[in-house]
Amino acid sequence: MAAGRLISLLATLFLSVSLLLLWFTLLSGITSTSPLRQTYFLRADTSGITGARSISQWTYFRICGLDNADCGPARPGLPLGDAWASDADGVPDGLIGGYGDGTTSHEYWYMWRFGWVFYLIALFFMTCAFLGSWLACLGRLGAGLIATVSSVGLLFLSVAVALMTATFVKTRNAFVSDERSAELGAYGFGFSWGSWAAMFVATVLFCVARRGHASDGVGRSSKRWSGSTFGRRKSSGTAGSRRSWDGRRVKDEYA
């Protein structure tokens, strides 16, 4: 199998792993089955906060209780402060403000909202790259096209994961500073960063596959050129020998 085609298949494998991990991240909180039941971005002690559960877990679509049970309604673009009531008392400093019906400060509102949007844009480009990944097996042009689409998906995924990380690390620090227990979700962060790592490898491999297809093409062209040149030389040599032999025979006959 040509090197470019083999590398393209390997890149597609990493891309499919990246998509799978990203779906695990996005569907967290939707069902109680594993591993989605264990997937959340942040778990914090919200006892004593107006309208909040004793323990709150932030997932992609919902705010849930312990082990992603007792979840609120699923909705897109969830504000960070959806875990408590409007103008609630007892919220750590910096988290509450006038956004999201008086539940979220402008900093956390925009950080998480933009992170959510970039996740969706990354998902779109990653899906396009996956559906068209067979083009990368056909030749240099196809591999270059998929490498470009994959690079765009990687860019948006990088921004999404970075914003998610910044949002919930800062939120955890705010709870800890308020002397409340808080911890980051190992599954949520693991799936997100694992998806990014697999996407990074896939993008690099698609770029390498493009060069692999180019090398395969150069090798085949060199063989064809060498074969045709050798054939012409052999033919020329044979014709020259025939002309030389015929010339000597005619000369001998007239001698």
Residue 102 falls in which region: left (phi positive, over 0), alpha (psi -120 to 50) or beta: left
pLDDT above 80 (res 58): yes
- Contact indicator for 88, 49 with CB cutoff of 8 Å: yes
* Most distant CA atoms of the chain, gap in Å: 126
- Class level of CATH domain 3-240: mainly alpha
Domain-by-domain residue ranges, the chain?
3-240
Mean pLDDT along residues 197-221: 76
- Contact indicator for 219, 42 with CB cutoff of 8 Å: no
Q: Which amino acid type is present at position 64?
A: C
Alpha carbon distances (Å) from 38 to 31, 64, 66, 191: 10, 11, 10, 11
64 Cα distance to chain centroid: 27
pLDDT in tens, 66-119: 888 888 888 877 899 999 999 999 999 999 999 999 999 999 999 999 999 999
